[in-house]
Chains A and B, each alone.
Chain A
Amino acid sequence: MAKITFPVEASHIMMFARSVDDPNPVYHDAEAAAKTEVGGIIAPPTFPQSVAQFDPDYFLRPKHGQKWFGSAKGPTGITEKPASSGGLHAEQHFEYHRPLRPGDVLSVETKAGTTWEKESKRAGKLVFSERITEYRDQHGELVCTARSVGVRTEKPVAQS
């Protein structure tokens, strides 16, 4: 997959922290953050996943001139079966070498990992696939590695 450039910005960090209901000043108040151990604003631990915003081809974002599979006039905007139907997030793992800070410009590369299958009572056949993402900073240093496991289910997960 192509490398993605991910500029880390203070306003994005502030909005991201709000979206995970985290009022910690270290994510939005430069003055307060300067007095902490980290010495300035940093990003919350799950922020690296927001690289999706900078992936021009990210498939879970409506794109100019393309049909979107979410509802509009009808319950879906496309006629074929939605590509993402049944796709869920099974696992997510981060390894951090240092916190991300506003002003960082990350170079992000994702590689496919292994895939495996499993039978489940609640959702039929499950197909798992792994993706490894490396985040490098403007000096080429590895700052974060993410391992994500997605699962495609044969049918919607039964609610117990």
Chain B
Amino acid sequence: MALKKSQLTIGATHSERVIENLARTQLVMYAGTSGDYNPLHTDDLYTKEIAGYPGVFAHGMLTMGLTGKMLTNYVGDGRLKKFGVRFTNQVWPGDSLDSTATVAAIREESGEWVVDLTISTTNQDGKEVVSGTATARIDA
């Protein structure tokens, strides 16, 4: 299910709702698989009383992983060459996130065709939580 060069146009977009009503348990699952057990993500008491935040919030890498789901659904499995993001705002339990990829360029790189994408993930209030770029191999 790879993208084809002939089917892509600059400015074309692909969007997905990547999480609905983010559960605290999802943060626990992510801590368990990633190995990042920072209490900021699973321990409300510590996060409120010691760290000074309103409560636990998502690992940046969970938001990147959710964004990556949109990306691989769009470009196909094993097609990514680059994927990079900045974490611009925190993601909280109860958030619903939408991720969008926009075609920025279609070009040749080391003998194969690639697409450059700009990426944005926003929450239910339209606030951007992740911004980034990706490059993926496409079919000629």
Chain A contacts to B: CB under 8 angstroms: 12, 15-16, 18-22, 24, 26, 36-38, 42, 44-46, 49-55, 58, 60-62, 69-71, 75-76, 82, 84-86, 88-96, 98-99, 147, 155-157, 159
Kindly count the residue-residue contacts between A and B in the assembled complex, taking CB atoms under 8 Å apart.
155
Knowing A37-B76, A69-B46, A92-B60, the reply to whether A49 touches B68 (Cβ < 8 A) is no
Knowing A49-B61, A76-B46, A94-B83, the reply to whether A20 touches B36 (Cβ < 8 A) is no
- Name which residue of chain A comes closest to B79, CB basis: A37
18 new A-B contacts, CB < 8 A, other than A52-B34, A89-B60, A91-B86, are A18-B29, A20-B30, A20-B62, A20-B66, A21-B18, A37-B2, A42-B77, A44-B65, A45-B72, A71-B39, A76-B46, A76-B49, A85-B51, A91-B87, A96-B80, A99-B77, A147-B84, A156-B53
Q: Which of B45, B65, B66, B90 is packed against the most chain A CB atoms within 10 Å?
A: B65
Knowing A16-B33, A52-B36, A61-B37, the reply to whether A24 touches B73 (Cβ < 8 A) is yes
Contact of B64 among A16, A46, A60, A155 (CB under 8 A): A46
Please give the number of chain B residues whose Cβ is less than 8 angstroms from any Cβ of chain A in the complex: 51
Q: Does B43 contact A (CB under 8 A)?
A: yes
Q: Give the chain A neighbours of B65 by CB distance below 8 A.
A: 19-20, 22, 44-46
Nearest 3 A-B pairs (CB), nearest first? A20-B65, A93-B84, A70-B39
- Determine chain B's interface SS by DSSP, over half rule: mixed
A159 CA to B92 CA in the complex, in Å?
A: 11
A90 CA to B61 CA in the complex, in Å?
A: 10
Knowing A46-B61, A92-B84, the reply to whether A21 touches B66 (Cβ < 8 A) is yes
Cβ-defined contact, B35 with A42, below 8 A = no
Q: With both chains docked as a complex, state the minimum distance between the C-beta of A25 and any C-beta of chain B, in angstroms.
A: 10
Q: With both chains docked as a complex, state the minimum distance between the C-beta of B64 and any C-beta of chain A, in angstroms.
A: 5
- Name which residue of chain B comes closest to A21, CB basis: B19
Contact of B83 among A37, A45, A71, A76 (CB under 8 A): A45
A58 CA to B42 CA in the complex, in Å?
A: 17
Cβ-defined contact, B34 with A50, below 8 A = yes
* A–B Cβ pairs within 8 angstroms, 20 of them: A15-B33, A18-B33, A19-B26, A19-B34, A20-B62, A21-B69, A22-B72, A36-B77, A37-B77, A37-B78, A38-B77, A42-B77, A50-B34, A53-B35, A70-B39, A86-B51, A92-B84, A94-B83, A99-B78, A156-B53
